Structures are given as C-alpha cells and as structure tokens.
Amino acid sequence: MPDPRRLLADIRPLREYPAYRRLWIGQSLSSLGSFMTGVAVAIQVYDLTGSSFAVGAVGLATVVPTVVLGLLGGSIVDAVDRRKLVLITSLGLMVVAIGLTVQAFLDLRQLWLLYVLAAVGAGFTAVDMPARRTITARLLPPERLAAAAALHQLNFQVTLILAPLLAGVLTAAAGPEAVYIADVVTFLAVLYGVWRLAPMPPHGGGTTVSFRAVADGLAYARRNRLIASIFLTDLFATGLAMPSALFPALAATHFHGGPETVGLLYSSIGIGGLVAAVLSGPLSQLRYQGRAMLVAVGIWGGSIAAVGFTSWLWLAVALLILAGASDIVTTVFRATILQVNTPDELRGRLNSLDFVIGAGGPRVGDARAGTVAGVTDPVVSIIAGGLACLTAVVVQAATTRTLTGYTADQG
C-alpha cells in the first residue's frame, strides 16, 4: 500500500539544508508581513479618499518601477554578490516599512506619500525577488529544486489566505501602524537568514549593469526554445484566461449572488492552490516535467471555460479550485525548468524576466477579460478566454517537441 505521507509537500530541502531552511523561514515571515502591508495601505488609502479608484492607483504607482527595475535588476543580480544584494534590498524594504509606520503614527494623511512609498517598495521588490531565487538555485542540488518550488508556493498560498485576515484584525484593533510594525519585525528574520550565507558572486565574474546586459538576457530567452516555451505557456494561462476581473459581474449577473459570492469565487482559486501545494509531494518525482506543465495549463484553461457553462455556484467553485490546483503545478515546473536550465551568470536576468511576466501577465489577462466582457458579456468573456488558452496549449504541444519531450534528467 502506498505511503500516504508521500502525497504531502516534500520537505527534504528544509530538513537536509540548514541554510535553505533559514532562508525559507525568513522569506515566509517577510512575505506575510509584506502582504499584510499591502492590505493596510489599501485600507489607509480608502479611509483617506473614500475612492476605489484611489486604491487601484496604488497598483498603477507600482507598475513602472516593477517593469523597469524588474528588467534592469536582472543585470544587477548578475553583476554583484547575490547575498549582499539581498541584504541591501531587504534593508531597503525594511526602511519603506519604517516610513509607513512613521507616517501612520504621525497621522500625516498624505496620499502622495503612500503612493511614493508603495512605488519605492515595488522597485526594491523587483530586484529582491529574482536575487532570492538565484540564491535558492545555489543552495540546493537540481533534484531538490522542484520540491523547493512547491514549498515556495505553499508559503505563497498560506500567505494569500492569512495576510488579509491578520491585516484586518490588526488594523481594526490598533490601526495600520500595528501592521507596518509587524512588517518591520519580519524583515529581521530574512536578514538573519541571508546574513548567515556564504558570499555568492555570480559564476564567471559577473556582467555589467547595463541595458545591453538586459538585452543579452532577453536574447538568450528567445534563442533557448525550452525557456521561451515555458514563458509562452505561462502567458497563455494568465494573458488569455485570467478570470479575476470578471468575478464581481459573474457573481451578480450569472450566479445571482452578492459580495459573499464574489469572495467565494476569489478564494476558490487560492483554496485549490493551497491544497495542491500541501499535496505536492509527487511533483518532485515526475519525470516528464514539460508535459506536466502543458497538461496543467490545459486543465486551467478548460476549467476556467467550464465556469461559464454552468449556473450552479457549487460547480463553479469546484472548477475554480481545480484551476487553482493546476496553477500550482504549472508554477512549480516553470520555476524548476528555469532554474535548472539557466547558466548561473544569466540567472538574475532570466529570473527577472520571469518576475515581470508573472507580475504583468495577470494584469494583461484582467484587461483582456474586462474588454471582452464590455463588448459582449462576462460569460462570453470567461468562456472565450478559457477556450483560447486551451487551444493555444494544444497547438503548442503539437508543434513544440522541446517542451513536451523535456524530462527532469535533462537538466
């Protein structure tokens, strides 16, 4: 009889590699604090303005630093000691959290200051995240990277659920400053984990910080058919079939519900992701990782399309849970294939590109969904997006042997 424990997330990277364990714990706490801060900033902006547009403008304020520093930051990661860089970016993010704490304590009530701090934080994050990913690839052997990617997703899903709840409770009890203080404290854990690491200069002596270096990274991604394929597959999933922008309209017009229905639709994808992350043990044993990624994106697209064909809320929730679970599989194998097949001297730039695609793809998908819904209706939009994603993946699977034939032992 199979051991049921093998279904659970593979924690061998945490058990076998103390440096990775310290880093993962620090990053988990820091991610929780950062997500809580994002919620607190949104609450504070709404309290100041009473405007949903003003809340949405926080996201707009972060777009330019995310994209520009997300791309240029890759050349920075590949030019300097990654350990020192993460220490600097973590300290920078900690200073941003301190700034938010001070303005909340002093009750400055300056909207522009919140936007500026959010933009500065986004800039640091755009460099910090790719740098942290390169460290993981240096701490673990290739056969443990899939498990590490799954553990990262487990942390992300738990954070996605806990952070809004904790931020709401703390803000209600002691104001947004309590959330910002908690964020400051969490950075101590990640700073400790990174401080204990050995120096990590890029192999080969590193590159220069320049737009030419960024262009070299983009050219490598374009020439490498395997890496280009995993990025394209991810864009199919998010750019064509991201359904989030449609949930309020679907809840009201298709499922005839209220705010509770909207919340249920939003949370369903997160629940599916959490379940898949907890039960991710078998993923590290799969040999045909490229094929599994394509199948998972196909399931995502098919599940999203199927939501539009049903008027039963319980079935729509089940389909979104399935979609959320498939998204975890896609993310785990995209991260694993990227880390294993990228030379260390290019890891910063390729991880930065992955970060920009991961951050920008869903925004493109939301814009597509809203535009199509405006011309037609939300049901047509969600069905069309899901079917477009499914069709694109089928065509890719039929025409791209590089990804369908990729196995874990090729890395």
Q: Using one digit for the tens of pLDDT, what is the confidence trace for 218-246?
A: 999 999 999 999 999 999 998 899 887 78
Domain-ending residue, one of 180, 209, 238: 209
Distance, CA of 93 to CA of 82 (rounded, Å): 16
pTM of model > 0.85: no
User: Residue 411: what pLDDT?
Assistant: 57
Residue closest to 44 by CA, chosen among 123, 106, 120: 106
User: Residue 367: what pLDDT?
Assistant: 79
Residue 314: band (very low, low, confident or very high) from pLDDT cuts 50, 70, 90: very high
CA 12 to chain centre: 23
Q: Do 114 and 173 fall into the same domain?
A: yes
pLDDT at residue 377 tops 50: yes
166 to 43, 121, 154, 346, 366: CA distances (angstroms): 13, 21, 18, 38, 27
Distance, CA of 166 to CA of 177 (rounded, Å): 13
State pLDDT tens for residues 49-60. 887 567 767 777
Q: How many domains does the chain have?
A: 2
Residue with the two structure tokens 């049921």: 4
Residues 6+ apart with CB under 8 A from 30: 90, 93, 186, 187, 189, 190
pLDDT at residue 35 tops 90: no
Domain-ending residue, one of 153, 181, 209: 209
Q: Do 194 and 237 fall into the same domain?
A: no
300: its two tokens = 């995502």
Residue closest to 27 by CA, chosen among 163, 182, 199, 194: 194
Judged by average pLDDT, the poorest of 118-122, 246-250, 258-262 is: 258-262
State pLDDT tens for residues 65-106. 888 888 888 889 999 999 999 999 999 999 999 999 999 999
Residue closest to 334 by CA, chosen among 318, 323, 345, 350: 350
pLDDT at residue 115 tops 70: yes
User: Residue 26: what pLDDT?
Assistant: 95
* CATH at 225: 1.20.1250.20
Cα angle 332, 333, 339 (rounded to 5 degrees) comes to 95
Domain-ending residue, one of 179, 209, 239: 209
Average pLDDT on 363-378 reads 84
Residues 6+ apart with CB under 8 A from 39: 163, 164, 167, 168, 171, 179
Which domain does 198 fall in, by range? Answer: 1-209
